[in-house]
Chains A and B, each alone.
Chain A
Amino acid sequence: MTDQTGHPRHRPSIADSLQSGEQLLRQAGRDFLVHLYAALRSLKLYPVENEQVQRALDEVTSSANLLLELEDELEVRITGEFIFVNATRLRLSLDNFASFSHVLTTLRQAGIGVIRVGGDVDRREWQIFISQLLSSAGREGDANKFAELQERLVRGSVVHIVVEGMVEDEDDFDDEEQAKEVAKRTYERTVAVTKEVVNSVRMGRSASVKKVKRAVQGIVDQVLSNEVSLVGLTTIRDYDEYTFVHSVNVTIFSVSIGKRLGLTKLQLYDLGLAALFHDVGKSRIPLDILNKTGALDDDEWRIMQAHPWLGVLTLFGLRGYGEIPYRAMIAAYEHHMKVDLTGYPKSIRDRNLSVYSKIIAVADGFDAATSRRVYQTTPLQPADVLKEMWENPRRGQDPVLVKAFINLTGVYPVGTCVILDTYEIGVVHAASSDPSQMHRPVVRVVVNADGVSLGEGFLIDLTDNDGSGNFNRSIIKVADPDRYGITPSDYFV
């Protein structure tokens, strides 16, 4: 059998059909979520009769109908950081991460865990549902808001859209504790593996590649499922030798940026491996230079600047790779090169900096500046570092990736100590999931307005408002945690 071009017609296998079916569902699911986001945004900004609102409602209706035609049912479920449409997990990409994030936050704020849509849903029902969803999401601290939302939907004769709540709070707490524990184990093990590799190199022994692979795979898994806990751990200081901890932190930041850029799981692994090894060349720098507390003299600085290319030589020496880790070599070599190819080492031949090297350079710059190192006993405040990265072109970092990094961290990165307008002190716990509210992170209040330390404290979302658009709390100042005896990392361990 041939097609119109005379080529033999390919008869799709069952696997092909399944795959194309799943791809179709993913695409339709993504379209639906993007349209839902557009409807939420436009209904928030304009009256219902506005043309943009009407168009958005048309689109959300038709994209939902398409899914209903494909599968006879439509279920949107939130699990952790993921959104599932009819049990298919939707992957973040550059085109949709902000929209997904907004939908996720809105549903969470309204206490919704699952939305089920029946076959005969119409545009009117979508309009009521979305309006009620917005209203419910905006009511902070109202324990009954989910029940009321359900009731309003019934009163509005919305019978084809049914919502179910989030899992119980207690379970949430358990899950959060469990997630924190898993993140901790991942972090500890990755530091241990990094230490083993670096020490093996220092002693001329071979290192276990299996363990490195597993460690990076673990980081990727955690970034995909439990990013907040893992990123929180990057605030830890003095856990082990700076080089090991720093390499792990850079890996976490890099993989997190990669996730925002829509990299696949296997691509995130490539990036993570490159990040973990970016400073492996330091294993060949004499320890007295590496650990020197005073300023480095010219010769010492020259030796220190050799670590990128020493990294390449080191990686060639690591045995046991099925394939030589080229990307890791390139990132090790390039991570101190600036976008105009100045920096070090020098380049003679043509070179286009790898995007992975540029991501790692951003993550490296941020973590190095916020860390306490032998020659930098007072770390800079994360928000200051971020600001400097953004404003100082001499750093030579890719401005688009710096922007993407700020998208990841928010303007107050995790671990930043802040004073609120309530005169409470907080530690930034997570970036806001609403990309338009990057200056309003989730904060753990650790000292109350009376100056009393609160121990574990409590989490508040700075995007919460009183229902009339006034925010309940705002950051007025970044503070030095040492001044208040606060160790930010304690709240993530």
Chain B
Amino acid sequence: MTSPTHEHEQEPAPEGLAEVHDLMQVLIKGVRAIQLYLPNNPVYQRALENIRTAFGPVWEMTDELELQVHEAELLWDGAQVLSQDNRSESIPWLLFKDGVRRLTMLPGAEDEEIVRLLQVLGKARNLVTDSPDDLLTLLWDQDFHAIKYDYVDLGMEEVPRLERSEEEPARPPEHVQQQIQEEVQDEQPQGIVSIDDFDSTLYFLDEREIEYLKHEIEREYSQDLRGNVLRMLFDLFELQTYSTVRSELVSIVQNFIPYLLAVGDFRSVALVLRELRTVLERSRELLPEHREQLETLPDTLSEPEALGQLLQSLDEATVHPTEDELGALFRELKPEALTSVLSWLPKLANERVRSLLYGAATRLAKAYPDQLVKALDEEDEPVLLETIRLAEQLKLPPLVPALGALFPRTGPEVRRATAKALAAMGTPGALKQLEQAIVDADREVRVDAVRAIGAKRHRAAIAVIEEVVAGRKLRDADLTEKTAFFEAYALLAGEKGMNRLKELLEPKGLLRRKEDPQIRACAAMALGRIDAKEAREVLQRATSDKEPLVRNAAQRALQGDKQA
């Protein structure tokens, strides 16, 4: 135990000093634990448990723990119970510097209030100089019952005192008495308040009035304060034509927007953008500079940096706007914002935000397809993938050429997505663009493309597909790709493809080398797609082929034909 160094040290130590001293030590550890750990952390919980335990012996000897606060020490009953010289660490200094001179704890403080006290001390220690709070304002907010503090109001010592008025010489009593009598005897003199005028029952609040006031208070605390203030500002802008006032208002609104975004109030930002249009329409005597400032405000918000900040704050926010609120905001954004939105979509970690933003992006893209085309010019793969996904969903014809332009310049993942998107669109234009994917370097792209082309009977691609079917390269492909190409060929060529397929399935002549069983099986399956007697005859023969793969394919093709 540290020896007391205070002037009272000559006196015998008060009974219970050790217990209070111990309590101070665990309190200091508690401040640290509360600052460093979360409530579910064992260290945090142990610290609190120690504090509660340490209060026990203290309450056994006193029912009020009153601590005198000095710059570097706390005294109890004149004896030092805590001494901390290092100001950055010191609890006594933290209390002292903001004016607290006495801290009193009552039984029950250890239940719950002590935790809040320690939290406040931790918070106060980290306050910056120009913070709107100090220790005293923070303590006040807590509304403690079992913890009391006395303080001095620093910096208010010079405040002039309220004084009584200068005493007037006493008036002669008889004169006063006469005045009173005259005044009272006046018939209905002015100033008389009849009791009838003030029937007390008039002033009782009845049930209805009490309900009304309750409702008013509820309304006060459920209102949209920022929206209210914004409406005031826009009213002012319309009503006040002084240019200096308008300049100030424009500046307030300009500075207000980043603040609203920072606190995640997207609805208010949308309100600003909406009201700007009204103000621009209705304001009288609007100076060109003010008009320009107001008109460019939404553009500022649509700039990549600003929008990036917005989306980042959305992603990190704990409370998210509804789709309507977000939609309201995005509806007000300029079309150029779409690229930024799409660039942010892949980065967002929060699924809900992602989904909300995707909805907003969809609406924006529908309204401004040219911006989606522009986004397809991007180099960034994730952005392109989001853009293509959106294009696939919206199926907007103006996007087709831009999608087609992606094949020669992008990686396989983007090309696959593009092929899928064009296939989903399925328009002649989209299929035309898809033709270039038939010979893509990526197997998946080729398969998707050729399947779509076949399914849509895009006959313009027959030449390219026939070349592949006839070519050597396909012989090295896997069965799925071979099947896709052969089926597409059959679908596009119809009866005209009979000969080529028949030759592949059953080559004639001794010298002709038989195709490998996979190619022959694919040819059989393709023949099954041709609705012709001859095709069925060829398949019938193939059902007794030596190769099991070919036999099976022929049988399946015939069955498929029957089912069809």
Contact = CB atoms under 8 A, between A and B. Distances in A.
Interface in A268-311: 309
Given A329-B229, A490-B164, A345 B236 contact: yes
Contacts of A406: 203
B162 interface: yes
Nearest to B235: A348
Interface in B214-252: 214, 216-217, 219-221, 223, 225-226, 228-229, 231-236, 238-240, 245, 248-249, 252
Given A348-B235, A477-B184, A478-B193, A321 B229 contact: no
Interface string A371-382: 000000000010
A287 B232 CA distance: 26
B132 A438 contact: no
Interface in B177-231: 177-181, 183-184, 189, 191-193, 195, 197-198, 200-205, 209-210, 212-214, 216-217, 219-221, 223, 225-226, 228-229, 231
A388 to B, nearest CB: 12
A423 B180 contact: yes
Given A18-B111, A189-B159, A478-B192, A309 B236 contact: yes
Given A326-B228, A384-B191, A484 B132 contact: no
A299 to B, nearest CB: 13
B203 to A, nearest CB: 5
A493 B163 contact: yes
Interface string B124-162: 000000111110110011010100000001011001111
B386 to A, nearest CB: 36
A438 B199 CA distance: 9
A287 to B, nearest CB: 19
A214 interface: yes
Interface in A188-244: 188-189, 191-192, 209-211, 213-214, 217, 221, 233, 236, 239-240
A1 interface: no
A54 interface: no
B233 A403 contact: no
A33 to B, nearest CB: 17
B285 interface: no
B193 A412 contact: yes
A313 interface: yes
Interface in B69-128: 111-112
Contact of A266 (B131, B133, B136, B141): B141
Interface residues of A, number: 96
Nearest to A266: B141
B259 interface: yes
A387 interface: yes
A326 B220 contact: no
A427 B177 CA distance: 17
Nearest to A476: B184
B161 to A, nearest CB: 6
B132 A321 contact: yes
A312 B232 contact: yes
Nearest to A258: B217
A189 B153 contact: yes
Given A210-B134, A400-B213, A487-B165, A435 B204 contact: yes
Contacts of A439: 195, 198, 200
A111 to B, nearest CB: 26
Nearest to B146: A87
Interface in A380-415: 381, 383-384, 387, 400-401, 403-404, 406-407, 411-412
Contact of B165 (A358, A436, A490): A490
Contacts of A451: 171-180
Contacts of A400: 205, 209, 212-213
Contacts of B478: none
Contact of B213 (A312, A355, A487): A355
A187 interface: yes
Contact of B205 (A403, A478, A490): A403
Contacts of B193: 383-384, 387, 411-412, 475, 477-478
Nearest to A351: B231
A49 interface: no
A332 to B, nearest CB: 10
A477 B184 CA distance: 7
A129 interface: no
B395 to A, nearest CB: 41
A184 interface: yes
Contacts of B200: 411, 435-439
A380 B232 CA distance: 34
B168 interface: yes
Contacts of B172: 451
B170 interface: yes
Nearest to A271: B220
Given A419-B184, A425-B180, A355 B219 contact: yes
A73 interface: no
Nearest to A98: B204
Contacts of A71: none
A489 interface: yes
A9 interface: no
B225 A349 contact: no
A352 B223 CA distance: 10
A151 interface: no
A322 B263 CA distance: 12
A286 B429 CA distance: 72
B177 A423 contact: yes
Most buried by A among B163, B168, B209, B228: B228
A479 B132 contact: no
Given A477-B192, A484-B179, A263 B234 contact: no
B164 A15 contact: no
Contact of A326 (B137, B229, B240, B245): B229
A269 to B, nearest CB: 8
Contacts of B228: 326, 330, 351, 354
A169 interface: no
Nearest to A237: B165
B226 A423 contact: no
Contacts of A485: 168, 171
A193 B145 CA distance: 28
Contacts of B212: 400
Given A354-B220, A439-B200, A94 B229 contact: no
Nearest to B186: A477
A490 B163 CA distance: 8
A23 interface: no
Contacts of A479: 183, 191
A10 interface: no
A155 interface: no
A143 interface: no
A449 B240 CA distance: 60
A265 B111 CA distance: 22
A450 interface: yes
A217 B164 contact: no
12 contacts: A94-B210, A184-B161, A188-B159, A188-B162, A312-B232, A321-B132, A322-B131, A324-B259, A351-B231, A358-B216, A436-B201, A451-B173
Given A240-B160, A449-B177, A490-B164, 12 more contacts: A184-B161, A322-B131, A355-B220, A403-B205, A435-B204, A436-B204, A451-B179, A451-B180, A476-B192, A484-B171, A484-B179, A493-B162
7 closest residue pairs by CB, A with B: A451-B177, A451-B176, A451-B173, A355-B216, A326-B225, A411-B198, A209-B132
Interface of A: 14-15, 18, 89, 94-95, 98, 184-185, 187-189, 191-192, 209-211, 213-214, 217, 221, 233, 236, 239-240, 261-263, 265-267, 309, 312-313, 316, 319-322, 324, 326-327, 329-330, 333, 345-352, 354-356, 358, 381, 383-384, 387, 400-401, 403-404, 406-407, 411-412, 419, 423, 425, 435-439, 447, 449-453, 475-480, 483-485, 487, 489-490, 493
